[in-house]
Structure 1
């Protein structure tokens, strides 16, 4: 696909709805299992943090919690998903998974 074609379409359209949903389900499954015990805190924390471009202080304000709480939650998310949240590829995958499952990711800008 050429860039002009890509820029006029949405990535999910290119990937396909079924594949996008499957990716989101698989990628976020460990956090969804955790959600049973802790509400949507892991998913909402990850969504807020990614939506704030990885800035803990902004995510804390968005969530209405202390920044150390966000940091602790992110440490747990890292451990559960066994990922490096500092890696841009990982962040992109998680952002897409959250977006494709319908989690709000509005930018803080």
Structure 2
């Protein structure tokens, strides 16, 4: 999954309501690279972090978790990656495709 797709799915998971209406601009939402967007994602989802082992970081929300390896000592990047991967895992492919079709973002 590309970073763009990961950001899109994480934002969709965090901000879409039951009618697939999204409360943020997913074209610019970039929690992988924007600390402000990452904080929005964390607040909206309740994701928190634990260090399961040296050199690793786990994002969790009580029902699931994602562990990532900390690269080059960059804990912030690891936290962003883990949080986005966890949130993105909540989105079903069919829901994402339906939203993309409804918003004209679907490309074959």
Indicate the structure whose relative CO is greater, using CA pairs within 8 Å and at least 6 residues apart.
1
| TM-score tier (shorter) | under 0.3
- For normalisation by structure 2, the TM-score amounts to 0.28
**Which structure has the greater CA radius of gyration?**
1
Tell me which protein shows more strand as a share of its residues: 2
